[in-house]
């Protein structure tokens, strides 16, 4: 095992600590009667829980990794560097804020570390579901209630779209991108199709419960933590052009054998 891989395990352990604190904050505000909800300039909601979780993670990283930069959905980048260069933590304090606001338990804190231009650690913590997923480069992907109660996970072996469970985000984004026909074609050709949305479809893919997950438009913090979990589980993760994710901000994730067919239907 290389020294770099050892370092990734240290970073993964830190990500668990960050997520433990984030879970305490977010669960205390989930379904709270006094939850404060504002609207951001892009018309998406943000709650006091989003802000508090990101502030907690940033404060902990400032102490534990003072030389690393941070990019978060709510407070931007901590310095002019980016994920293509030095080590940068990328945080989505609550992925699925609309679910959080409505009391739907499918939301999570996403924590990733980029180093050398690629994601080397990813952790997704969904405390309302009582489940967490994580991976470090070269060490496989795992899921469970926490780091001490977990099992290694892997993608399915499904090789044919008519046998596949196909997952996608809402149809409006595909329509905006001019790819709705391709999307609908995939849903018709698949054994089963469901729109689980946000992080959840990717985690079901990594566990082998579904076989593909696609989204037309994502921000870096939406996808950074998902990439190492899916790929360490044995899956493929690219953008719509077939370039390695995060690429152009779209996502095509699969168990591997189905990937070419998905790109043919949706790719540019």
Q: What would the pLDDT profile of 92-112 be if each residue is shown by its tens digit?
A: 999 999 999 999 999 999 999
42 is in an annotated binding site: no
Axis crossing angle, helix 3-29 with helix 48-64, rounded to the nearest 10: 150
Contact indicator for 74, 109 with CB cutoff of 8 Å = no
111 is in an annotated binding site: no
**Helix (H/G/I), strand (E/B), else coil: 185:** helix
C-alpha pair distances (Å), 127 with each of 10, 19, 107: 22, 9, 8
Domain ranges of the chain: 8-152, 161-267
Residue 33 above 90 pLDDT?
no
C-alpha 19/C-alpha 2 separation (Å) is 26
222 is in an annotated binding site: yes
Between 174 and 232, the more confident residue is 232
239 is in an annotated binding site: no
Give the mean pLDDT of 169-177. Answer: 87
The pTM for the full model equals: 0.93
Q: What angle do CA 116, 52, 149 make, to 5 degrees?
A: 65
Nearest to 201 by CA among 253, 123, 263: 253
Q: What is the DSSP letter of 242?
A: S
Nearest to 267 by CA among 252, 256, 257, 254: 252
Element (H, E) at 124: strand 118-126
C-alpha 133/C-alpha 54 separation (Å) is 19
Give the mean pLDDT of 7-26. Answer: 95
Residue 2 above 70 pLDDT?
no
- Highest mean pLDDT: which range of 44-48, 75-79, 142-146: 142-146
38 is in an annotated binding site: no
C-alpha 23/C-alpha 21 separation (Å) is 5
Nearest to 36 by CA among 24, 23, 45: 45
The CATH H-level superfamily of 8-152 is Fructose-1,6-Bisphosphatase, subunit A, domain 1 (3.30.540.10)
C-alpha 166/C-alpha 186 separation (Å) is 8
C-alpha 20/C-alpha 257 separation (Å) is 35
Model pLDDT for residues 35-65, shown as the tens digit of each residue: 898 876 665 778 899 999 999 999 999 999 9
Q: For the domain made up of 161-267, give the CATH fold.
A: D-Maltodextrin-Binding Protein; domain 2 (3.40.190)
């Amino acid at each position: 095992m290389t020294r770099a891989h050892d370092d990734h395990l240290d970073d993964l352990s830190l990500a668990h600590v960050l997520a433990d604190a984030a879970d305490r904050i977010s669960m205390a505000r989930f379904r709270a009667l006094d939850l404060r909800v504002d609207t951001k300039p892009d018309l998406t909601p943000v709650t006091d829980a989003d802000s508090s979780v990101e502030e907690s993670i940033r404060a902990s990283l400032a102490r534990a990794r003072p030389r690393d930069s941070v990019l978060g959905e709510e407070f931007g980048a901590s310095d002019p560097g980016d994920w293509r260069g030095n080590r940068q933590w990328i945080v989505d304090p609550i992925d699925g804020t609309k679910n959080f606001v409505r009391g739907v338990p499918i939301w999570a804190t996403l924590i990733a570390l980029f180093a050398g231009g690629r994601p080397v650690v990813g952790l997704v913590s969904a405390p309302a579901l009582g489940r967490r997923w994580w991976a470090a480069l070269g060490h496989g992907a795992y899921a469970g209630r926490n780091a001490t109660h977990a099992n290694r996970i892997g993608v399915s072996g499904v090789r044919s779209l008519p046998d596949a469970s196909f997952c996608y985000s809402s149809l409006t984004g595909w329509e905006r991108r001019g790819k709705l026909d391709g999307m609908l074609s995939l849903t018709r050709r698949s054994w089963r199709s469901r729109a689980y949305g946000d992080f959840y479809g990717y985690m079901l893919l990594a566990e082998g419960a579904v076989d593909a997950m696609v989204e037309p438009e994502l921000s870096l913090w939406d996808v950074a933590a998902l990439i190492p979990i899916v790929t360490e589980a044995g899956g493929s993760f690219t953008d719509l052009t077939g370039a390695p994710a995060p690429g152009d901000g779209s996502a095509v994730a699969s168990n591997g054998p189905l990937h070419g067919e998905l790109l043919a239907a949706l790719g540019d």
